[in-house]
Amino acid sequence: MEQVINELLETIMSNQLNVPVLQPILDSVSQLPMVGLIVSFILWKPVFALLICPGLSTVGILLLFFPWIERKLCARIQWRVGPREIVPWLGGLIQLIADTLRFLFQEVIVHRDAHRPYFLQFPFLSFLAALLPLLFLNAGNVMAIETPYAIQALLALVCLFPFFILGLGWASNSRFAFIGTVREAFMYFAYEVSFIIAVLAMIILFGTSNPMLMADKPWGIILNPIAAFTFFVGAAMATSRMPFEIPEADQEVAAGPHVEYSGIAFGLIYVMCYEKAYILAGLMTVLFLGGGSGPVIIAGLGELNGVMWFLIKTVIVLTTLFVLRTIYPRYRLDQGLNIGWGVMISLSLIALALSIVLVQGGVI
Amino acid sequence: MEKDEINRNMHILKTGVLSPAKRWSSKWSLWPCHFVTSCCGVELAHAFACGFDGERLGTLNMGISRQANFIIVEGTITRKMARALRIVWEQMPDPKFVNVIGACGQRGGIFWNSYNITRPSEIVPVDFFIPGCPITPESLLRGVRAVQDKIDGKDETTIKFKKVALPSDGTGQESTVPTSPKRFAPTPLVKLDIPRDVDWAFGSTMVGNLKSQLGGLYKSITITDKNRIAIKTAPEDLVDVARKLSGNMGLDHVKSVNVIDVPHERKFILEYMVSSYSSSELMPVIISIFTEIGREAEPEFPSLTPLWESADYSEREMHDFFGIKYEGNSGMNAKFLLAPETQTPLRKDFKLAEESYVYDESVPLNPEIELTSDLKMPAPEELYDEAEASDEFMILVGPHHTGSGHLRWILRVKGDRIVDVTPDPGYVHRSMEKIAENRLYIQNIPLYERANISDPFCMNLGYVHVIEKALEIEVPERAKYIRTMLAELSRIGAFFYDSGIFALFTGHSTGFMYVWAIREMILEATVRMTGSRCTPSFIIPGGIRRDVSKDVLDMISNFVSAVNKRLKKFEDIFIYNPVFIARTKGVGVLTKQEAIKYGLVGPFLRASGVDYDIRKVEPYEAYDKFNWEVTTGDAGDCLGRYMGRYEEIKQSLSILKQAVDALKKMPRGDVISEAVLGDYKAASEDIKGHFYHAYGNLVLPKGEWTSVVESARGTLLHSIISDGDSNVPYRSRIVTPCWMNLRGIVEASKGERVADFWTIYGSFGYFPPEADR
Amino acid sequence: MKKVTVQDQSTLEKAKCHAAAIGVAMKESIYPLTATVQYPRQRKKMPDNFRGYILFDPEKCINCWECAFICPANAIRMKEAPNKKYYPTVDYGKCIFCHFCIDSCSGGALRTTKIHDVAYKDMDDMVTLTEEMIEPPEIIREDKTLVEYQIDKKDLQIKKTREVDYLFVDEVPPSVEIPMVSQCIDGASCIGCHVCEQVCESGAISSAIANGVMRMKIDTDTCTGCGLCVKECSMQILKLVRK
C-alpha cells in the first residue's frame, strides 16, 4: 500500500509544472503538510491540464468573458457600443455573468410534445461531450492524456458533437427543430471529410500526431496555408458560424435545434457552442499556429509561457471565427453543401498533396 | 388575474436565499422577444440599432420566445394577433415582463374605435405603458429602465405632474357644449360618374374608342377627371366589358377592387379600376368599371380573377369587408384579412364607437372590446390534410417568427423545395378604410400615414393629392419643391429600411446596423423639419404645415454628400458581398409577363422590365422639373429587384440635391395655397393657430376622386367617394403597394428552396402594416 | 430610362469583394464610426419644434373646443373647470403627438415640450387632467451629457456637451395673428333661435327687434373671433371674416 502511494507521489513529483517565478512560494507552501500535497497535485501536469488550462477553469473563464469580447467587438464593427451599463467603467465586462445567472434561475419549460427524458438529458450530455476532447488538447507542454495519437483521438471526439445536436432536435419535436436538425446532419457530412483530410495533411506534414512534437516545427499555416484555410472553414461550418450558420439560422428556422429550450438547458447549449468553438480553435492553434511556442516575454514563467501563448493564439482564432458574423450573410443549405463537398474537399486534397510533396521534397 | 400575474413574477424574484442574485441578473439580462406587431417596430429597431443601441442595457433582442424574458408589444394587437401574443407570453419562462409601447397598444391611439384591434392589457399582464405614436427610441429605453427599477423594487410611473388649481373666477355663465363638428348627410348621393370638364384631348378619343369597342354593353362612359374614365354597366355585362377591355384594349392589370355600400338605395356598387402596363399611352389612364347590384346578405357576383389575376387578393378583401361572394375566386370560403368572428364590417350598418368630446369620469374611456373566449387562429385544416396526402411538409412561418414580420406564411415544402405558399395576412389590419369614413377629411392625414411610417411623406402625399384633385387646388411652387424633397427623403429612408430588413433576413446584422445609421440621419433631418421622427403628418392639402428653415435645407444638402461615406462601407460589406450575391442572384425570378399578370407595382415591377413610374407617367409635384431617370432591369430576380432600387436611390439623391439647390434660391414663405386658406391667407408660411379654421370643414365635391403616387414601394392608390355634403368621406379606399406585391412574393417563391423564401420576402421590401392597412 | 444589370462576379472579383468586406470590418474595429447616443446617461438634443408632451395655459384659452374637434385620436376631451369653462384634458394612452391641436389653437394656449420618454405603470394614469397640464411636469432623468447630431459635408458628427438639456420651450404664439370677427352673411334667413347669443363667450352678440323682425347684432370690437357662434348657428349663416 505504502509502496503504491510512494510510486504515485513519485509520478506526481516527477511531472510537475515548472514555473520558476512561483518556485519560492511553492517551496514555502510545500512545508505545510496537506496543502503542499494538494498544490503539487494541482501542478501535476495532467491534473493541471484537466483543471486549469486548457481544461475546466479556462473553459469557464473563457465562457464568461469571451462572449463579452465577441459582443463588444461586433458592436464596435457595427458602430455601436455593446453591453455597457451593467458596470460602465468596466465596459460591461460582467454582462455574461448576469446572463448566465438569469438562465440559471429561469424556469425550464418542457413542452407537451417533447420527449421529456431526452429533452432534459441531451443538453447535459452534449455539455459533457464537449468537454471530453479537452483531454487530448495541449497547451504548451501541458496535456491531460499524453499519447502519440492525441490528434486522432481529439478529432474522433470532436466528431461526436453533431450527434448530440441531432438528439436535441429530435427530442424537441418541433417543426423548426426538425428542419434545423436535418440541416445540421447535412452540414455535418459536408464539412467532416474535408476537415479530417486537412488534419491528415498536417499529420503527414509533421510526421507525427503528437501535438507536443508539433510545437517545435515551423508553423503549419506557413507550411501549408491551404490546409489551414480548409480547416478554418471547416471549423466555421462545424460550429455553425457565419456564413455557414445554416442549421441555426435565426431568421429561417428560429435557431433550429435549440428553438424549444429555455432556462439553464438553453444556457448549457449556448455554452456548448462556445466550448466547441474553443476546442476547434485550440486544435487550430496546435496544428497551424505552433501551439504553445512563442518567445519568452515574462521571464521565469517557465512552462506557463507555452500555456500563455496557447491561450493568446486560441483567443485570436476564436475571435476571428466569431467576428465572421459581422462580415458575412448566410449561405443557403445547398450552397453550403456545394462548398463542403466541392470546393473544400478539392482544397483539402490539394493540401494533402502539398503536404506529401513537402515531405517528399525534404522541406521538413 | 392580471395584477396577480405581475405580482407572481416579482414574487419569484423576491423569494429564496438567492433573491439578490436573481434580481440582479434579471435586471441586467432582460432579453426582449421582439414581438414586432406594428409600426412601432421601426422605432424599436432604431432603439436596438446603432443609433441608441439597447444592448448597452443588457437587453439583447432574441427572436425565440423560450429564451426571452421580456416582451415589448409594439403597438396594435389585432384580433388575429391577440392569440399569438397570448401564446408567446405563455411560451416564455418565468419570471417575465411585458411593456406595451405605442398608443395603439394602450387605448388604441388613432385606431381607438377600430373594429379589429384589442387591448394587450386585457390579454397579458403589462408592467409598463409607454406613450407615443410611434414611441421614440429614448422612451422605449426608458421603459426598459423602468422595468429594471421595478425589479430593484422601485415600481413607479416616471413622470410626475404638478397640480395647479384652475381659475375659478369668471363670468360664471354656463358654457354650452357644442355639437360634433362631423356632418353626415342623411341620404347621401353616391355617384361615381360625375362628369368634369377637363382639358384632356386623348380622353375624348379614348371614350370614342371605348364606345365603339364595347358596343351596347355599357350604360354610360364618363370622363370624371383628367386620366380618369368611368364606365357604368349592367351587372350581367360587367364580365363581357372586362373581357373586351383586357383582350382588345390592352388593359392588363387591376389597380383596385372596390365596393360601395349604399344602404338607403339598397344597392352595392362594385367597382374595378383597371389600367395598362403594356401600352405607354394608356399608362396614366385609370378606367373604373362599375355596376350596381342588390344589397343582399351574401350577394354573388362573378369574379374577374380569370381575366385579371391581380384582382385576386383584393376580391378576397372585399369578400371580408362586405360579404360579397366572387364566384370563381378560390378564397371565398374563409376570411382573408379578418378574424373569423368579424362580420362584414365595412357595411354602413356596422357602426363604430362615437367620439366623445366631454371629459366625464363616469364614462369609460375605451369602447368596449368584446374578445371572444376562443381567439383561435384560423387554422386551414384542409391544408394539413392535403400536405399529408401528397407527402409534403408544412412550415408555419409567423406571425411571431424572427423572419416573418407580422403575417403568417404557410409554406408547403417537398424536400428543400417550396411547393406552395399561402399567405395569411391581416395581423395588422387596423381597419383604416372604415375609420376614415368616420373622421373629418383632415383627420385622416395622420391615419393614412400610419399605413407605413417608414415612408411617411409619400403616404401623406397620396391622400392629400385626392383632396387637392377634387378641390382643384394649385400648390405654391415652393411647397411643391419641398414636397418633392420630402417624398424623396422618405423614399431613401424606406429603401434603407428595407435594406436593413433584407440584411437581417440573410443573416447579416452589420448590414442592418449600417443602414440604420443612415436612417438615423434622415430621421434627424425629419425631426428638425417637422418635430416628429417617423410620423410627421406634415403635408396638408394645399401645401405643407410650415416652411422649412435654411438650416434644415443645409442639413439635407449635406446629407446628400455625407451619406456616401457610410454607403460605401455598406456597399462593401453587404451589397457586393459575394455571399449576398450568391444568395440572391437568379432567385425568385418573375418575368415581365408574370409581373404584369400578378399586378406588381413599383421598383419590383420595374425590375422585371416594365418601364412604369408614376413620377414620369403622370408627373406630380416638381418631378418634371428635375433631371432624373427611371431605373428598370431585366433580371427580375432578388438581386435585380434590390439593385434596381439601389440605383433608384442614387437617382433620388440626385433629385434631392436638385430640389434643395432650387429651394435655397427661392424666397421663404408662401407654402400653403390661398385657395384653401381663404381668409387666413396670411398664414401661408405657417399654419400654426389656424389649422382648424382652414381645414376643419373641408368638403369634397361629389363623385369619386382617385389619385396615384409613386411611393417608395410602388403605386399608392387613394380613392375617395364623396357625397358632396358630408365633411367626412363616404367611402375611402387605399390600395398600398405592399398589398399588390403580396401576390408577387407568393409566385416568386414557388419552386425555390426553403431558405430562398426569406430572400424573396426581403427583396420585395414587404411592410405588413402597409399591406394590411 | 436606365437599365440595371448585374454581372456575374469572376473569381478574382469575388476575392476582391471578400477582401473589401473583411477590410471594412477590420477598419471599423479600429476606427469605428460609432453613432450611438447612450440614452439614459446621454440625451439627444431635440429641436424646439419637437412634438412631445403638451402644456396648457388657461389664461389664453378662448374655450373654442377646436383642439378637441381636430384631434384625430379623440385623445382630447374637454373638462369643466370651476369657472364653468371647458378646458382640454389629454389622454396619452391615445395621443399620437400629431400636434394638430397646437396648430389649431388660435390663442396659443397649448404649447409643446421636449418630454417624450415616459413610462406609465398604469393605463389609468395616462389621462392628464387640465390641472396637471399647466406646470411643466418632472420626469426621471439620468442624463448628464447632451448629444447633438450634426451632418456636415463629410459625415454624421456627434457633438457631445456636458450639460443637462432644458426640456421646455418658451411659448411661441402663432406667427401670424389674424384678427377675425363673426359676421352674419344672410340675415334674412335668421330664424331667431338665439343660439349664437347663448354660446358667445364675450357677449358680443345681442339681439334686437326691428320692424317686428328679430335681428342679431354682432359687436365687432368685443368679438374675439372664436368661431363658436359660426359652428352653432342652426341656419349656418354666420361666417368668420377678417376684421
Q: Are residues B142 and B210 in the same domain?
A: no
Which of C85, C105, C137 represents a domain boundary (last residue)?
C137
Which of A80, A107, A329 comes nearest B579 by C-beta? A329
The grid cell for B263 is 344602404
pLDDT class for B507, splitting at 50, 70, 90? confident
User: How do B77-78 and B117-118 pair as beta strands?
Assistant: antiparallel
Q: Which residues contact B525 (CB under 8 A, 6 or more apart)?
A: B489, B552, B555, B556, B559, C151
Judge whether C95 lies within some domain.
yes
CB distance from C141 to chain B under 8 Å? Answer: no
CA distances from B653 to B172, B489, B554, B562 (A): 60, 8, 14, 11
Omega before B95 within 30 of 0, i.e. cis: yes
Judge whether C18 lies within some domain.
no
Assign residue C237 the CATH number of its domain.
3.30.70.20
The more confidently predicted of residues C190 and B30 is B30
The grid cell for B683 is 398664414
Q: Is the pLDDT of residue B10 over 80?
A: no
Residue contact B632–C65, C-beta within 8 A = no
Q: Is C46 helix (H, G, I), strand (E, B) or coil?
A: coil
CB C9 within 8 A of CB B581: yes
Strand partners, B721: B704, B731
CB B148 within 8 A of CB B106: no
Nearest chain C CA: its distance from B419 CA (Å): 28
CB distance from A189 to chain C under 8 Å? Answer: no
Give the residue-averaged pLDDT of B166-175.
Answer: 67
Give the residue-averaged pLDDT of B717-727.
Answer: 87
Report the residue of C34, C42, C156, C160 to disrupt the A interface, i.e. the one with the largest count of A CBs within 10 Å: C34
Q: What is the ipTM of this complex?
A: 0.87
Residue contact C28–A73, C-beta within 8 A = no
Report the C-alpha gap between A242 and A263 in whole angstroms: 25
Report the residue of B579, B752, B757 to disrupt the A interface, i.e. the one with the largest count of A CBs within 10 Å: B579
Task: List, as one string, the DSSP characters of B661-723.
Answer: HHHHHSPS---B-HHHHGGGGGGGSB-TT-HHHHHTT--PPSEEEEEEEEETTEEEEEEEEE-
Residue contact B18–A78, C-beta within 8 A = no
Report the C-alpha gap between B118 and B100 in whole angstroms: 13
The more confidently predicted of residues B381 and C28 is C28
> DSSP character for B537?
-
Report the C-alpha gap between A248 and A251 in whole angstroms: 9
* Span B85-118, pLDDT tens digits: 888 888 888 788 888 888 888 888 888 888 888 8
Domain of C52 in residue numbering reads as 47-137
Q: Which residues contact A121 (CB under 8 A, 6 or more apart)?
A: none
Q: What are the sequence ranges of the domains in chain A? A: 44-360
Find cell 403580396 and name the residue. B742
Nearest chain C Cα to B122, which residue?
Answer: C123
Q: Are residues C61 and C123 in the same domain?
A: yes
Find cell 441531451 and name the residue. A122
Residue contact A77–C25, C-beta within 8 A = yes
User: How do B417-424 and B539-540 pair as beta strands?
Assistant: unpaired
Give the residue-averaged pLDDT of B70-82.
Answer: 84
Judge whether B706 lies within some domain.
yes
Judge whether B335 lies within some domain.
no
pLDDT class for B369, splitting at 50, 70, 90? low
Which of A95, A250, A334 comes nearest B416 by C-beta? A334
CA distances from B743 to B17, B81, B427, B585 (A): 57, 22, 17, 21
Question: How many CB pairs below 8 A link A and C?
Answer: 34
Which of B327, B350, B365 represents a domain boundary (last residue)?
B327
Judge whether B401 lies within some domain.
no
CB C97 within 8 A of CB C84: no
Report the residue of A76, A316, A346 to disrupt the C interface, i.e. the one with the largest count of C CBs within 10 Å: A76
Judge whether C15 lies within some domain.
no
Q: Is C116 helix (H, G, I), strand (E, B) or coil?
A: coil
Report the C-alpha gap between A262 and A256 in whole angstroms: 14
Per-residue tens of pLDDT for chain C, all 243 residues: 777 777 777 888 888 888 988 888 888 888 888 888 888 888 888 888 888 888 888 877 777 788 888 888 888 888 888 877 788 888 888 888 888 888 888 777 888 888 888 888 888 888 888 888 888 888 888 888 888 888 888 888 888 888 887 777 776 655 555 566 777 767 777 777 777 777 777 777 877 776 666 677 777 777 777 767 776 776 667 766 655
Judge whether C4 lies within some domain.
no
Judge whether B644 lies within some domain.
yes
The more confidently predicted of residues B376 and B212 is B212
Q: Is the pLDDT of residue A67 over 70?
A: yes
Judge whether B334 lies within some domain.
no
CA distances from B590 to B111, B305, B638, C8 (A): 37, 19, 9, 19
Which of C78, C104, C137 represents a domain boundary (last residue)?
C137
CB distance from C156 to chain B under 8 Å? Answer: yes
Q: Is C42 helix (H, G, I), strand (E, B) or coil?
A: strand
Q: Is the pLDDT of residue B138 over 50?
A: yes
> What residue type is assigned to position C55 of the chain?
L
CB-based burial label for B440 (10 Å; 0-12, 13-18, 19+): buried
For chain B, percent of residues with pLDDT exceeding 70: 95
Q: Are residues C58 and C122 in the same domain?
A: yes
Residue contact C25–A79, C-beta within 8 A = no
Domain of B230 in residue numbering reads as 201-327
Assign residue B669 the CATH number of its domain.
1.10.645.10
What is chain A's mean pLDDT, rounded?
84
Judge whether C38 lies within some domain.
no
* Span B639-687, pLDDT tens digits: 888 888 888 888 898 988 888 888 888 887 788 887 777 766 667 777 7
Nearest chain B CA: its distance from A224 CA (Å): 25
Q: How many domains does the structure of chain C reveal?
A: 2
List all chains that touch chain B, counting a touch as 3 or more CB pairs closer than 8 Å: A, C
C-beta neighbour count of B392 within 10 angstroms: 18
* Span B318-363, pLDDT tens digits: 888 888 888 888 878 778 888 777 778 888 888 888 888 888 776 6
What is chain B's mean pLDDT, rounded?
84
C-beta neighbour count of B714 within 10 angstroms: 26
What pLDDT, on the 0 to 100 scale, is given for residue B174?
A: 64
Q: Are residues B145 and B240 in the same domain?
A: no
Judge whether C212 lies within some domain.
yes
What pLDDT, on the 0 to 100 scale, is given for residue B1?
A: 45
Report the residue of B40, B56, B158 to disrupt the C interface, i.e. the one with the largest count of C CBs within 10 Å: B158
Report the C-alpha gap between B234 and B219 in whole angstroms: 7
Report the C-alpha gap between B487 and B522 in whole angstroms: 12
CB-based burial label for B217 (10 Å; 0-12, 13-18, 19+): middle
How many Cα atoms occupy the beta-carbon half-sphere of A303 within 13 Å?
19
Report the C-alpha gap between A288 and A229 in whole angstroms: 10
Q: Are residues B496 and B631 in the same domain?
A: yes
CB B600 within 8 A of CB B559: no
Q: Are residues C193 and C117 in the same domain?
A: no
CA distances from A66 to A138, A250, A319, B281 (A): 20, 21, 8, 64
List all chains that touch chain A, counting a touch as 3 or more CB pairs closer than 8 Å: B, C
> DSSP character for B277?
S
C-beta neighbour count of B623 within 10 angstroms: 20
Q: Are residues B147 and B274 in the same domain?
A: no
* Span B416-461, pLDDT tens digits: 888 888 888 888 888 888 888 888 888 889 988 888 888 888 888 8
Judge whether C108 lies within some domain.
yes
Report the C-alpha gap between A163 and B221 in whole angstroms: 72
Which of C119, C137, C155 represents a domain boundary (last residue)?
C137
Q: Greatest CA span in chain C, whole angstroms?
A: 101
What pLDDT, on the 0 to 100 scale, is given for residue B376?
A: 52
Judge whether B376 lies within some domain.
no
Residue contact B145–C139, C-beta within 8 A = no
Residue contact A77–C21, C-beta within 8 A = no
Report the C-alpha gap between B722 and B471 in whole angstroms: 12
Q: Are residues B130 and B229 in the same domain?
A: no
Judge whether C205 lies within some domain.
yes
How many Cα atoms occupy the beta-carbon half-sphere of C229 within 13 Å?
30
